[in-house]
Amino acid sequence: MGEPKSISTIVEGLVKKRRWESMMTTHKMKRIWDKTASSGMRDHCRVASWRRGVLEIQADSSVWSQEVSFISVELAKCFNEEAGEEIVDKIVVRIRRN
């Protein structure tokens, strides 16, 4: 029958098999955003998705979109530092449509 597998190994296998990696990483990025972004930025911007190293942040106005764009390199470094790995290569900011 073989050696028993740990729960973390089983979950990791499921995540890869079901292609949940993007969803799991997006959730991780949202937690980091909530922890590190200023309250003003959290009120007007949110993490929308992460896919293949690109983090999409949605802003509720062009002013906030520009603000996030200006600091996107520093934000990417912050996300990578908090995640403990190089997971964000680029940040794309879009204006959220209501």
9-39 per-position pLDDT tens digit: 777 776 666 666 778 888 899 999 999 899 9
Query: In this structure, is residue 6 part of a structural domain?
Result: no
pLDDT in tens, 44-53: 999 999 988 9
How many helices (H) and strands (E) are present in the chain, helices listed first?
5, 3
d(CA 85, CA 12): 17
Domain count, the chain: 1
- Tell me what the mean pLDDT of segment 54-69 comes to: 96
CA angle 53, 58, 61 (to 5 degrees): 145
Query: In this structure, is residue 52 part of a structural domain?
Result: yes
Number of neighbouring beta carbons within 10 Å of residue 68: 19
pLDDT in tens, 79-96: 999 999 999 999 999 998
Query: In this structure, is residue 15 part of a structural domain?
Result: no
pTM: 0.78
- Contact predicate 50/22, CB 8 Å: yes
Range of the domain at 88: 21-95
The H or E element that residue 89 is part of is none
Query: In this structure, is residue 48 part of a structural domain?
Result: yes
